[in-house]
Amino acid sequence: MTAFILRRSLQSIVVLFIMSLIVFVGVNLVGDPVDMLINPEADQAEIDRVIRDLGLDRPVSEQYWYFVLNAFQGDLGRSFIFGEPALKLIVQRMPATMELALVSLLMAVVFGIPLGIYAGLKPNSKFSKTIMAGSILGFSMPTFWVGIILIMFFSVHLGWLPSTGRGDVATYFGVTSSAFTLDGLSHIFLPAFNLALFKLSSVIRLARAGTREVILQDYIKFARAKGLAESRVVRIHLLKNIMIPVITIIGLEFGSLIAFSTVTETVFAWPGMGKLIIDSIYNLDRPVVVAYLMIIVVIFVMLNLIVDILYSVLDPRVRIKGVS
């Protein structure tokens, strides 16, 4: 296991390096941040001074060299706009995004798996057909549009739930989250549901497809032949077998939940990383964009690792080399 984790970490460093190269060159191609930063009435001397201060007068290769050197010391650059370390800005906003992603993931799993299994066990019932039709809607409707409709219906029309912000937060065990207060929960419900809808639909479809396949296997019939209660057949024999593909998708999608929560965060004015990255892209705040993308890469790599480890827990046939 240790060898496996080490090897994966080395691979991650290579991925991180290549990614940083692409991102760094990429942000240098899209627009000149100086135009955004300085007073339009500034004279040439002033402009030159700003360019020199930001280090933009050096060749890209040299800028990259310094970026890498600093990165090894945990410094991913300073935001042009806020003048603060980019990493600090992102880390400050990370809890908000994390809690949003976690709550939507929870929603997707808690509702998706039972609904999917039900639809798989009783494929011809009316309710199953409704579930499946709903899941098609779920991933064909654009997230921003669903978000707006949710706000219109639940916030404006019914007035049940707030439409913007994080609400009250509370801290337990060193974790600050709005999921710990009633007000916070009411704030998180709509954005989390909005973000979860797509994942919920894919979890439903995966769980259903898995159920349809596994239920026909001899080992399910054999489990019934042993006289087990149907609930045990479904909860143990079926569930454990369909969890393998579901875990893969959940793991990988969790990364995309974090990375692409930008749309939902924008619609619901959620003060998370997604909102920050959108603002930074508008302002051509290069260090923040680069730092953000680096962090996303790290998150993806870590999630992949966790998924691989979970596999071996769920499926004894998958043996991670170095274990046995």
* Interface residue list for other proteins (CB under 8 A): 217-219, 221-229, 232, 236-237, 240-241, 314-317
DSSP letter, residue 85: B
Provide the minimum distance between the beta carbon of 162 and other proteins in the complex, in angstroms, as a whole number: 44
In the bound state with other proteins, the residue whose beta carbon lies nearer, of 75 and 315, is 315
In the bound state with other proteins, the residue whose beta carbon lies nearer, of 158 and 216, is 216
Q: Which runs of consecutive H residues, i.e. helices, occur in the chain?
A: 2-29, 33-37, 44-54, 60-72, 86-121, 126-140, 143-150, 182-214, 218-225, 230-232, 239-259, 262-267, 273-282, 286-314
Provide the minimum distance between the beta carbon of 106 and other proteins in the complex, in angstroms, as a whole number: 24
Provide the minimum distance between the beta carbon of 112 and other proteins in the complex, in angstroms, as a whole number: 20
In whole angstroms, what is the distance from residue 118 CA to residue 210 CA? 11
190 closest CA partner among 270, 253, 252, 110: 270
In the bound state with other proteins, the residue whose beta carbon lies nearer, of 182 and 236, is 236
In the bound state with other proteins, the residue whose beta carbon lies nearer, of 7 and 240, is 240
* Helix H or strand E segment including 302: helix 286-314
In the bound state with other proteins, the residue whose beta carbon lies nearer, of 92 and 217, is 217
Are 85 and 264 spatial neighbours (Cβ–Cβ below 8 Å)?
no
Provide the minimum distance between the beta carbon of 217 and other proteins in the complex, in angstroms, as a whole number: 6
In whole angstroms, what is the distance from residue 156 CA to residue 208 CA? 35
256 closest CA partner among 150, 120, 143, 101: 101
Are 131 and 115 spatial neighbours (Cβ–Cβ below 8 Å)?
yes
In the bound state with other proteins, the residue whose beta carbon lies nearer, of 60 and 323, is 323
Provide the minimum distance between the beta carbon of 244 and other proteins in the complex, in angstroms, as a whole number: 8
Provide the minimum distance between the beta carbon of 233 and other proteins in the complex, in angstroms, as a whole number: 10
